Structure 1
Amino acid sequence: MTDALTLDQFSVFITVVEKGSFAAAARHLNRAQSVVTYAIQKLEEQSGVMLFDRRHYRPLLTDAGRALFPRAKRIVDDVADWRIQVKGIARGVEAQLTLVLDFNVPAGLLSQVLSEFGGAFPLVELRIILKTSDSAVEVLRKGDADIGIMSEYKPNLDDLERRVCGHVELVAVTAPSHPLATIASHFPAVVLRDHTQLVLGEAEQIGDQDYGIHAINRWRMTHMETKHNLLRAGIGWGSMPRVRVANDLESGALVALTPDRWEGSDRMPNFPLIVAHLKRNAIGPAASWLIEKFVERGLASTEGRHEDPVTSL
């Protein structure tokens, strides 16, 4: 029968293998050798297989022992992880966190912070959702995410506790082959109305009041990468994070458009990038750590400039 197997038996088994003998394992465990031998005998008896070949000067693993040794280590490691996680939950460390990001979050910032997070909270399960800015806010408000990282370009976010962790500079672009590319600088913004605009947006947002929409005909898509590819192909124009298209502008694959007005201003927008959570929700140590790190790492960068924003997960 295997129902009497104990964690201690597995631990002794692992120690004998790693130390090379029953005597060495006994010294390491500070036990009598007879106690170690008995634990192995009971494990073999209850498992129904011989784990060691004792015909040699030092015990050697049998085929069964070699096959079962990795599983024994996994059992011991899993129990150790269980105990750590239980202690963490008892002292308030979250078992799971969900992040919602918009497409403007720099990939470099994300990877840097999450790499550190994995080391600081190895047992906290992380779930990441990628959305457009408007949808990211709604995911947070519905309670489907604990933390949101997004561009703050709309008012009415008073229900969110917000910290700035960078900025998002937008630039209107199109391909050199597009008719708009031949227009002189600082042209009347009304000209944009007659050319197809590529816009990031969820299907359910159609009909909502749109920020930054200038064209009569607009194509909506939910992925930044799709929008970027279509812009480079000359299929319309649109606004993009400058960091995302910097290489294209330098190489000439895209050209910057300079309308004289944009949403009532004489320049393109530069939005704060924020990390936020619902004010009504208490956050635990892991979430607090993440927020502080995003702020620290984001503001420590050169004006929040990292590599390209995330495009997919």
Structure 2
Amino acid sequence: MRNAITLEAIRVLEAIDNKGSFAAAAQSLFKVPSAITYTMQKLESDLGVVLFDRSNKRAVLTPAGRLVLDEGITLLQSTARLEEKVHQLESGWEAKLTIAKDTIIPDQQLFDIIARFCELNKLVEINVIEEVLGGGWDALHTKRADIAIGVTGELPKGQFNVHDMGSVEFVFAVAKNHALADFVGLIETQHINQFPAIVVADSSRTLPGRSSGLFDSKQSIRVSNMQSKIQAQKQGIGVGFLPLHLISKELASGELIIKGSAIPRPPIPVYFAVEKGRTGKALEWFSQQLLQQTWFDSLSSG
């Protein structure tokens, strides 16, 4: 089916509206006036509507003409962006990049990197998805993501290029009004298991799920991300280990209190990973930026 509205017709319509006459539009488009008149007459005929009020010296759009032009300008802009993306793709820049960010990664630091990327003026669509525990590996495995930031646990062999991001220190923290807040001495399992444990659920869809820092407790309350876990523990709903670099504000304000615990929780190595063989200038740029960043400074607000 042939469409009545073409990109050329929209350009002519826009020129007439901007210049105020068919003659002036023809001059701006380097066309003869008869060509402009023919294009508009044909468009009106094909659509079955009048696009211009010709009763005055200046060509004025009718409501139908204004609708066609307003929507048409959006099409022109989309077409221009598409053309630029095609040229950009040919030069090695991807049209889209998806980043799987583990919930332990501070938002601000990642968004600072994205802000610097935007200054490059490359038309790359950036998608950020949040994952937990094995979810980052799963996002790479299922090709839901091009790069996974903050992956932990046993490293897959041979399939990904893996880069060290440092280690995350976890501390046992409770709300200032929690029953354990005034406990003196090392907290043992028997002191904890009478309270609910706040647990962040693994987001993996296809790979086996993992758990992190689980201990015997009266009850498990599962949430979808680390910020929800922090909030739940601030409200005294339950207890658990939290990443030190994400709770500096809560510790400084006294909303959370670190308690010594006899339950071992060593620092966890953290990585970012990219599937081997994946190329693209945006992917390379982000990889370089990630390598230069200090991620788990406990003085960071997260």
* TM-score, scaled relative to structure 1: 0.77
Whole-angstrom distance in 1 between the partners of 2:272 and 2:9: 48
Is 1:282 the equivalent of 2:283?
no
CA distances 1:65-124 after superposition (whole Å, capped 9, x unpaired): 122210121222222233233334444543443322211121112333334545657654
Is 1:258 the equivalent of 2:260?
yes
Alpha carbons of structure 1 residues 31 and 294: separation in structure 2 relative to 1, 3 Å: farther
Q: Give the match for residue 178 of structure 2.
A: 178
SS in 2 for 1:104: coil
Q: Tell me how far 1:46 sits from its aligned partner.
A: 2.6
Q: Give the match for residue 34 of structure 1.
A: 34
Q: State percent identity of aligned pairs.
A: 27
Whole-angstrom distance in 1 between the partners of 2:127 and 2:230: 26
1:166·1:303 contact (CA, 8 Å) conserved in 2?
Answer: no
1:243·1:305 contact (CA, 8 Å) conserved in 2?
Answer: yes
Letter in 2 for 1:156: L
List 4+ stretches of structure 1 deviating above 6 A. Answer: none
SS in 2 for 1:173: strand
Q: Tell me how far 1:151 sits from its aligned partner.
A: 4.8
Letter in 2 for 1:234: G
Whole-angstrom distance in 1 between the partners of 2:123 and 2:140: 23
Q: Tell me how far 1:227 sits from its aligned partner.
A: 2.0
Q: Tell me how far 1:14 sits from its aligned partner.
A: 0.9
Alpha carbons of structure 1 residues 292 and 43: separation in structure 2 relative to 1, 3 Å: farther
Q: Give the match for residue 311 of structure 1.
A: none
Q: Tell me how far 1:172 sits from its aligned partner.
A: 1.6
Q: Tell me how far 1:289 sits from its aligned partner.
A: 2.8
> After the TM superposition, which residues 157-176 of structure 1 pair with which residues of structure 2 at under 5 Å, given as runs?
157-158=156-157, 159-164=159-164, 168-176=168-176
CA distances 1:268-295 after superposition (whole Å, capped 9, x unpaired): x2644x332122x413223223333444
Q: Give the match for residue 143 of structure 2.
A: 143
Q: Give the match for residue 230 of structure 2.
A: 228
Letter in 2 for 1:55: S
Whole-angstrom distance in 2 between the partners of 1:209 and 1:52: 66
Alpha carbons of structure 1 residues 230 and 7: separation in structure 2 relative to 1, 3 Å: closer
2:150·2:165 contact (CA, 8 Å) conserved in 1?
Answer: no
SS in 1 for 2:230: helix
Letter in 1 for 2:31: R
CA distances 1:105-152 after superposition (whole Å, capped 9, x unpaired): 211123333345456576544443322122222332333321111154
Alpha carbons of structure 1 residues 6 and 176: separation in structure 2 relative to 1, 3 Å: closer
Alpha carbons of structure 1 residues 11 and 51: separation in structure 2 relative to 1, 3 Å: same
1:109·1:306 contact (CA, 8 Å) conserved in 2?
Answer: no
CA RMSD of aligned residues (A): 3.5
Is 1:237 the equivalent of 2:245?
no
> After the TM superposition, which residues 107-146 of structure 1 pair with which residues of structure 2 at under 5 Å, given as runs?
107-117=107-117, 120=120, 123-146=123-146
1:108·1:306 contact (CA, 8 Å) conserved in 2?
Answer: no
Q: Give the match for residue 104 of structure 1.
A: 104
Q: Give the match for residue 248 of structure 1.
A: 250
Letter in 1 for 2:284: S
2:134·2:210 contact (CA, 8 Å) conserved in 1?
Answer: no
> After the TM superposition, which residues 86-105 of structure 1 pair with which residues of structure 2 at under 5 Å, given as runs?
86-105=86-105
SS in 2 for 1:291: helix
Unaligned 5+ segments in structure 1 are 309-313
Q: 1:292 aligns with which of 284, 288, 292?
A: 288
Whole-angstrom distance in 2 between the partners of 1:43 and 1:305: 64
For these two proteins, the number of residue pairs brought into alignment is 297
Whole-angstrom distance in 2 between the partners of 1:208 and 1:28: 63
* TM-score, scaled relative to structure 2: 0.80
Q: Which structure's residues are more often helix, by fraction?
A: 1
1:102·1:131 contact (CA, 8 Å) conserved in 2?
Answer: yes
Q: Structure 1 residues 190-199 or 73-82, which shifts more? A: 190-199
> After the TM superposition, which residues 65-80 of structure 1 pair with which residues of structure 2 at under 5 Å, given as runs?
65-80=65-80
Q: Tell me how far 1:257 sits from its aligned partner.
A: 1.4
SS in 2 for 1:275: strand
